[in-house]
A and B are shown apart, each in its own frame.
Chain A
């Protein structure tokens, strides 16, 4: 494993949004002024006591934070190695970590006088979290979602509609998350005066990767306090799934300078990395430019983005946040991948052994923890980010077993 001699990992990005060679701003000129306006407001309000107090109050009373850390003692015993703890982001309002960020960005939108919210969504969790905060703040909300994802996440589509959002099906390209992002960008370019674009992950042009990280870092900040109280010390390893990478960076970021803590990001290996049917740009892709930033991508030799595959809609994305690309290159985090089948096995294991139904996205992190635990001692600790609950996935899992719900 490559190691880095950096003093600190908290000095990224630079003022232009670069994480080493990654990140930056790669968008059409029409968006440049809007991104500048967003950056200035984000920098201002992140220092603003009133804003932070309002955010804190919402996270406490509306989202239900802090989310607990839970010792999965029975599962740990079964695996016969390290103790596995779960950061329970699945217990947040709306059922995933996504709301941490949408609350923050929506409060920012309100401060900036924007009346219309747009978002892209893959699994629908970010769309639901956006529709939720838009409903609460009385803002118009349009969510772009790939036509393929609309079919596999029907329940979330209905949830968004109940919340008053308009869900627009995206029929271009592969009709999944990346195409929804393209379409949301096009909407933003067209309606730039009154519209705030809430990106759901740590990708996109600066300041999104840094801003979404800062809103999600509450996960790691809490965990860093909770672990010593509950387990007597910091964990030996952190494990989180990585699609765009927002739940992962949220957990990892506050621990980056705790160099004794190993960090593992888990990508979706789909049918297996060797088959090419996967969504693992960090493990099997290479750098390129997409969706406003430079990062690792799934692309062909001509620079065309290739279609990804994962059982989990939330991980089915050909790019990844630029900070992850940087953490990979400097060796601070290791990126690994688990297959659809491994994730499914972990999904069932946690459900049956701990009585917690995890999201298929989070099941990727669990699957890697299940591999890692037996290689470690019983007094060592793995903290897994349980980024979302699995209710939304029961149709997918049932269908695989030939059951129609």
Chain B
């Protein structure tokens, strides 16, 4: 069983929902990322989504764009990100890590080389924003060969047949993008989210995570009532940005936010 499947199974047994924080690797400087990851786990994170910086993050809003830019000042590469995961794994074998990013760094490295290196580093899954299932054949084979899950996005605009196409190739969990727009946008409509999750559940037994638009403990708790996992990104990256000049303050600040979310989610479910 994959680390992600095991995590969801144990959460289900406890009647809890997964909390998945996102940070961009190398933001605001590479040396700090692993300690942030550990702090997030301690604060209640179940899975970590680690952003791979990219020069042209087309699907991200300004907050995560700037995180990429800060990380790229230090030339944080895909190899560097995998090295961070390897370091994280020396003290943590249980928390799944999902690499989230864009295709080109993987394309340039080569799918097979990437998948082998990711497996070796202790990565559990890849979420590649700009590769739809139709183009993903070779990448999927490489990921599967190395025991990595392939996380795909489902959008509010995805019609039934597309949801089926996506769910056929997805593994680990399905990531529902809760609104039309880029990361960090607002206006979460919970009823619409619930309706879409019901549609997705018809196509798959995989757990469903919901992301985009989760700002605080209250929205995290609300979303956790309808989803299996809550992904929180821009709200955390905003804090990283605010504290970029005092990097030692970042991990405690993110931990404090996650503790609030964790408590709100656990209280309501």
Contact = CB atoms under 8 A, between A and B. Distances in A.
Interface string A154-182: 00000000000000000011000011001
A32 B158 contact: yes
Interface in A283-319: 287-292, 294, 297, 299, 301-306
B157 A172 contact: no
Nearest to A16: B134
A379 interface: no
A173 B132 contact: no
Which residue of A287, A297, A303 has the most chain B CB atoms within 10 A of its CB atom?
A: A303
Contact of A289 (B79, B130, B158): B130
B155 to A, nearest CB: 4
Nearest to B53: A304
A185 B62 CA distance: 13
Nearest to B106: A303
A192 B180 contact: yes
A30 B152 CA distance: 12
A186 B162 CA distance: 21
Nearest to A32: B132
Which residue of B69, B130, B156, B182 has the most chain A CB atoms within 10 A of its CB atom?
A: B130
Contacts of B60: 186
Nearest to B212: A30
Interface in B73-111: 75, 77-79, 102-109
B31 interface: no
A25 B134 contact: yes
Given A26-B130, A292-B130, A32 B162 contact: yes
A24 interface: yes
B135 interface: yes
Contacts of B66: 172
A404 B82 CA distance: 52
B135 A26 contact: yes
B4 to A, nearest CB: 20
Which residue of A179, A294, A297, A302 has the most chain B CB atoms within 10 A of its CB atom?
A: A302
Given A24-B135, A186-B58, A29 B104 contact: no
A304 B55 contact: yes
Contacts of B53: 304
B89 to A, nearest CB: 22
Nearest to B103: A289
B155 A34 contact: no
B158 A33 contact: yes
Given A173-B55, A190-B182, A289-B103, A32 B157 contact: yes
Contact of A29 (B72, B103, B158): B158
B153 to A, nearest CB: 4
B247 interface: no
Contacts of A292: 130
Interface in A112-126: none
A305 B72 CA distance: 11
The DSSP consensus for interface residues of chain A is: mixed
Contacts, number: 128
Interface in A254-272: none
A34 B157 CA distance: 8
B56 A30 contact: no
A330 B75 CA distance: 35
Interface string B133-170: 01100000000000000001111111100100010000
A189 B180 contact: yes
Contacts of B131: 26, 289
Contacts of B180: 30, 189-193
Nearest to A306: B55
B59 to A, nearest CB: 4
Given A302-B75, A303-B104, A28 B58 contact: yes
B108 A302 contact: yes
Contact of A304 (B59, B72, B109): B72
Which residue of A16, A189, A190, A297 has the most chain B CB atoms within 10 A of its CB atom?
A: A189
Contacts of B22: none
A27 interface: yes
Interface in A330-360: none
B177 interface: yes
Contacts of A31: 157
A378 to B, nearest CB: 47
Nearest to B75: A302
Contacts of B159: 33
B104 A288 contact: yes
23 contacts: A25-B132, A26-B130, A27-B130, A28-B153, A29-B152, A29-B155, A30-B59, A30-B155, A32-B162, A172-B66, A173-B55, A173-B56, A173-B65, A179-B56, A182-B56, A186-B59, A186-B61, A186-B182, A190-B185, A291-B58, A302-B79, A303-B107, A304-B55
Interface of B: 53-62, 65-66, 69, 72, 75, 77-79, 102-109, 129-132, 134-135, 152-159, 162, 166, 177, 180-182, 185
Given A30-B177, A186-B58, A304-B104, 10 more contacts: A25-B135, A27-B58, A172-B62, A186-B182, A189-B182, A288-B104, A289-B103, A289-B107, A303-B78, A305-B56
Interface of A: 16, 24-34, 172-173, 178-179, 182, 185-186, 189-193, 287-292, 294, 297, 299, 301-306
A-B pairs with lowest CB-CB distance, top 3: A303-B105, A303-B108, A302-B77
